[in-house]
């Protein structure tokens, strides 16, 4: 085991011991402490379903104030790709709606958490169609506001892709006005993609693979809302269909720190929204301890990518 791996293991062991000591004391935590604890775990990308489930139960038992609940709800799922329990969000909904002075950040935090979980409980419709439009006034823009409205926009895209919005909502003028504003905020907030050294390294290998000479760096989706690290269109056999592959060069921040095989909720949402636009995602892990880091020559990297892409294409053909 290398020095870096040893440090990582020691850090994870420390966090695990800290959580074991903290769990019996959760009833003593106030609203802000619970929210801060969950947010810290999300930032650390530390996966512990048992502890976070205890936090969720304590949040309900202690009837947290709505702002703290909103902070917790948006923290529970960005780092965890799996949902704890839909009942948690259903239970906190009435608390959120009872708070008449919820701000834009609290509302968009809730949307962020719901987007990660793929949920649209009934109470979220009121937040979306009644609270959000009012909070978007007066018309204006700032970096923080663009980021928050961008979160709301991705929630709308998730709802549309999953068919969770009623036809009345989808066809309403109010929804389209709100969606357009949030869309512009998302475009402004996402900025220009930056290509890393590892990204360039992978791209050079990809375009040498059979059928991949037309690979494009920072390929845009047709609607212009998202870009992928590398886009490739392959002709599959024997049915000769075009398979669109989004190759994402994913560093450690895309995975749980103590579960490197488990993608974060943010990464899963990205994959879902790309696949909803017709792109099959190929996630290439490139962290220090990932298999890619151990490949030292062009031939071994080429063989590795060919096999990885081939597995995804095989799944597409079988389906």
Tens of pLDDT, residue by residue over 250-292, are: 999 898 888 888 888 889 899 999 999 999 999 999 988 889 9
- Which domain, by its residues, includes 109? 3-190
> What was the pLDDT predicted at 277?
96
166 and 22, same domain (yes or no): yes
222 and 178, same domain (yes or no): no
**Cβ atoms 200, 248 nearer than 8 A:** no
What's the chain's average pLDDT?
82
This prediction has a pTM of 0.84
Q: How confident is the model at residue 178 (pLDDT cuts 50, 70, 90)?
A: very high
Domain count across the chain: 2
Burial (Cβ within 10 Å: 0-12, 13-18, ≥19) of residue 63: exposed
* CA dihedral sign, ordered 19, 34, 151, 127: positive
55 and 186, same domain (yes or no): yes
For 121-262, where are the E strands, in sequence order?
Answer: 216-220, 227-235, 242-250
| φ/ψ bin of 263: left (φ > 0), alpha (ψ from -120 to 50), beta (otherwise) | beta
Q: How confident is the model at residue 117 (pLDDT cuts 50, 70, 90)?
A: confident
127 and 247, same domain (yes or no): no
32 and 150, same domain (yes or no): yes
Kindly list the strands in the beta sheet with 227-235, ordered across the sheet, starting from the edge strand earlier in the chain.
216-220, 227-235, 242-250, 280-285
248 and 233, same domain (yes or no): yes
The answer to whether residue 79 scores a pLDDT higher than 60 is no
175 and 204, same domain (yes or no): no
More confident residue, 183 or 141: 183
Half-sphere exposure of 93 (CA within 13 A, CB side): 18
């Amino acid at each position: 085991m290398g020095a870096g791996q040893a440090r990582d293991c020691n850090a994870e062991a420390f966090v695990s011991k800290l959580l074991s000591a903290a769990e019996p004391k959760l009833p003593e935590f106030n609203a802000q402490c619970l929210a801060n604890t969950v947010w810290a775990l999300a930032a650390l990308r530390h996966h512990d379903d048992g502890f976070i489930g205890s936090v969720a139960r304590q949040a309900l038992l202690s009837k947290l104030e709505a702002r703290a609940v909103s902070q917790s709800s948006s923290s529970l799922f960005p780092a965890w790709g799996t949902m704890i329990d839909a009942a948690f969000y259903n239970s906190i909904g009435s608390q959120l709606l009872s708070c008449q002075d919820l701000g834009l950040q609290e509302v968009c935090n809730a949307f962020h958490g719901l987007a990660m979980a793929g949920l649209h409980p009934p109470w979220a419709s009121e937040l979306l169609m009644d609270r959000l439009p009012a909070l978007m006034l007066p018309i204006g823009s700032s970096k923080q506001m663009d980021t928050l409205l961008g979160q709301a926009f991705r929630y709308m895209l998730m709802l549309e892709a999953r068919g969770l919005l009623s036809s009345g909502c989808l066809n309403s003028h109010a929804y389209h006005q709100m969606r357009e504003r949030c869309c512009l905020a998302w475009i402004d907030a996402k900025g220009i993609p930056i290509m890393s050294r590892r990204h360039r390294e992978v791209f050079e290998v990809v375009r040498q693979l059979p059928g991949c000479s037309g690979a494009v760096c920072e390929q845009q989706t047709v609607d212009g809302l998202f870009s992928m690290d590398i886009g490739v269109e392959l002709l599959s056999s024997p049915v000769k269909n075009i398979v669109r592959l989004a190759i994402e060069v994913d560093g450690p921040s895309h995975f749980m720190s103590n579960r490197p095989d488990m993608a974060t909720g943010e990464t899963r949402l990205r994959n879902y929204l790309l696949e909803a636009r017709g792109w099959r995602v190929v996630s290439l892990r490139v962290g220090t301890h990932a298999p890619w880091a151990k490949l030292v020559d062009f031939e071994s990297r080429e063989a590795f990518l060919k096999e990885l892409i081939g597995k995804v294409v095989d799944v597409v053909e079988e389906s």
